[in-house]
Chain A
């Protein structure tokens, strides 16, 4: 007899496709958050699979901090073009320019993304917002439902989440509320990379080892760029690095690495002793509950 068992990677894929189809079928106005980072790239790949041969039936949105890696924006635009998608950009820079948001003293713009995100959701009346968040990323994310309710202020109430039973997702909500949907909830960083290998998915090349001018700050390697100038006492050097996550340049660090191919990265991730956010995100180190606090306010 043939054994009919899915590998755990294919089971995760099937689960994610099921989640995406459910949310789109139950509600009216979905949007997918697309930054060009590996998780959002995998999520979009799954959306393509979920509706094939029909095109992806919703737009994508990028909350643009204005502190971007050029190659990531180029990748974003090429992908949107290739798939014939509509791109909505919510620009943090616009908010800073007209005074609705104030630049922070530390220069970090990640926490500033929440307001433009919520405004864009309200303006376009999006009722389903697909996010690439994974429960293995961070301890507050470990608590998140697959389909997670946000009140009319965009807030998450982690103490009072809706029960989520079997694979019977319930995205119903009152007018003004919306749901965040996380198809990659049960994926780990390693699952994402194994899937990228299995599906041969193209990523921005800064995920692979390259030589870059960097300087050390807060135990991370930051790239020298328009928004990340070394301060006094910080010396610039050329190092072979890659990025484990892609976010706002001012608070996303690189790790030293020789991993130039997908297989190299998988080997590296499989034996790493540091979580991806621990290694690369200054904003999560601010306080014990930095992520929880941001999420409660409506962050991704």
Chain B
């Protein structure tokens, strides 16, 4: 192809090579990645480097970034500008909100969410991490573990991001020194152990220079592990969602009175399979009512299916006429959650105004939204000691444990078992704003009688 702009915009490096590994792949499975770590640790630069070195930056984008870098008087191309796209971000040199970028290698398609490091924008980091399969946590090797590093690692663990990779970054600024790397790696491993993070992978990087991002560095004879991209290509995708029991939150009932004549009596329930697999003939239970029935058909616009699995969007027909509406859950009869009006959950509090006992909120779980009232605040995570601490309120950016009484039952799973059906939102009934990210705790959530330890002996781990 020749275009006019192709001739006039010849940028260095990336532009001269075909997009062999840039956009051409775009097949295979999807992996969602989010960055985390303290302000200026190099998250945006790392994402930019990942895109640049895998030839996923197009010539006009690179041209624009070069132009702005020159105008700022920088001696190098600031790859962070590939994601820091807002005017305010470019002026201040920080990331404010998540930027999403896309690239593919031979066998994987990636969605990159570059998140902010600043404490003020933690809600955006939680946003980017909530859907991530992999969290890449950066640490500036000169600074070691900072409060934001601890907070973001706690967020990653709380949200149960399946894989957490720590990039000990700016290794170029300590002359690629192994001892310094080992010290920082041990420090972060200690925090991870306290938080209960399993199998943390750590590697030394320079996002600025490009060491161990796409290609293995030749400046560190002492490190013979994989590069970041190699780790990402090998990371497990979230395929195990099909191995969990079947869950199907009903989005809406389809009863098309005004459809073609052959569908006048059609009655189906549209939704996305949250977890598991369902086949025609399977016995299911409709919650919270508890009615049992069988699946009589699985429909899509492309024709009927014998089975559907997560995360397919389908329409399910049932053998019996049951009153089903949005917010109901169709679940495997043999392994269904117990509906409850008492919710014990962890929350990441994301609103300016704090949370108090007695406060009324809306709880959105799956496709169901119910009223709730805060019964107890069962402590907040102290980021210095990484242990729970008694508190009257939860404030902005706090991670805490609460108990809610609900106006109507929900059928939820333990979040640590199922991110998709164990997560909930707290919503402000007045403004409609989102107040908190919530995660159902399995062990005590389904019992009214569950005892709460007195405040002095808070013992939970996130």
Segment with Cβ contacts to B, from A71-79, A96-104, A253-261? A253-261
Inter-chain contact A158/B97, CB cutoff 8 Å: yes
Q: How many residues of A contact B (CB 8 A)?
A: 75
Q: How many residues of B contact A (CB 8 A)?
A: 89
Q: Name which residue of chain A comes closest to B365, CB basis.
A: A168
Inter-chain contact B300/A49, CB cutoff 8 Å: yes
B424 touches A (CB below 8 Å): yes
Inter-chain contact A50/B85, CB cutoff 8 Å: no
With the chains together, A212 CA to B8 CA distance in Å? 22
With the chains together, A52 CA to B304 CA distance in Å? 12
Inter-chain contact B101/A142, CB cutoff 8 Å: yes
Pick from B1, B68, B272, B431: contact of A259, CB below 8 A: B1
Inter-chain contact A14/B24, CB cutoff 8 Å: no
Closest CB in chain A relative to B196 CB, distance in Å: 21
Chain B 410-456 interface residues, beta-carbon cutoff 8 Å to A: 419-420, 423-425, 427, 431-434, 437
CB contacts (< 8 Å) of B111 on chain A: these are: 186
CB contacts (< 8 Å) of A216 on chain B: these are: 4
With A54-B256, A55-B259, A278-B60 known as contacts, the answer to whether A14 contacts B364 (CB < 8 A) is no
Central interface residue in A255, A258, A278, by most chain B CB within 10 Å: A278
Segment with Cβ contacts to B, from A15-23, A111-119, A228-236? A15-23
With the chains together, A139 CA to B96 CA distance in Å? 13
Q: Name which residue of chain B comes closest to A25, CB basis.
A: B252
Closest CB in chain B relative to A63 CB, distance in Å: 24
With A166-B419, A170-B425, A288-B87 known as contacts, the answer to whether A159 contacts B6 (CB < 8 A) is no
B270 touches A (CB below 8 Å): yes
Inter-chain contact A159/B88, CB cutoff 8 Å: yes
Chain B 25-75 interface residues, beta-carbon cutoff 8 Å to A: 26-30, 58-61, 64, 68
Inter-chain contact B87/A24, CB cutoff 8 Å: no
Chain B 1-15 interface residues, beta-carbon cutoff 8 Å to A: 1-6, 8-9, 14-15
CB contacts (< 8 Å) of A256 on chain B: these are: 1-4
Chain A 41-67 interface residues, beta-carbon cutoff 8 Å to B: 48-55
A219 touches B (CB below 8 Å): yes
A273 touches B (CB below 8 Å): yes
A86 touches B (CB below 8 Å): no
Inter-chain contact B252/A142, CB cutoff 8 Å: no
Closest CB in chain B relative to A142 CB, distance in Å: 5
With the chains together, A221 CA to B15 CA distance in Å? 21
Central interface residue in A22, A50, A161, A168, by most chain B CB within 10 Å: A168
Pick from A12, A14, A55: contact of B312, CB below 8 A: A14
With the chains together, A186 CA to B437 CA distance in Å? 22
Inter-chain contact A274/B58, CB cutoff 8 Å: yes
Q: Name which residue of chain B comes closest to A275, CB basis.
A: B58
Chain A 242-300 interface residues, beta-carbon cutoff 8 Å to B: 253, 255-259, 268-275, 278-279, 288-289, 292
B251 touches A (CB below 8 Å): yes
CB contacts (< 8 Å) of A191 on chain B: these are: 26
CB contacts (< 8 Å) of B60 on chain A: these are: 274-275, 278-279
Inter-chain contact A55/B434, CB cutoff 8 Å: no
Inter-chain contact A51/B254, CB cutoff 8 Å: yes
CB contacts (< 8 Å) of A173 on chain B: these are: 432
Chain B 167-208 interface residues, beta-carbon cutoff 8 Å to A: none
Segment with Cβ contacts to A, from B126-134, B370-378, B385-393? B126-134
Closest CB in chain A relative to B22 CB, distance in Å: 9
With the chains together, A13 CA to B277 CA distance in Å? 18
Closest CB in chain B relative to A282 CB, distance in Å: 11
Inter-chain contact B420/A288, CB cutoff 8 Å: no
Inter-chain contact A219/B364, CB cutoff 8 Å: no
CB contacts (< 8 Å) of A270 on chain B: these are: 19, 23-24, 26
B239 touches A (CB below 8 Å): yes
B76 touches A (CB below 8 Å): no
Counting from the closest, the 9 A-B pairs by CB-CB distance are: A139-B85, A172-B432, A54-B256, A278-B60, A17-B313, A53-B263, A52-B301, A49-B301, A8-B30
Ordered by A's residue number, 19 sampled pairs between the chains whose C-beta atoms are within 8 Å are A4-B277, A8-B29, A18-B272, A48-B301, A51-B270, A52-B301, A135-B102, A139-B85, A142-B83, A159-B88, A163-B434, A168-B364, A172-B432, A185-B100, A219-B5, A256-B1, A272-B19, A273-B19, A278-B5
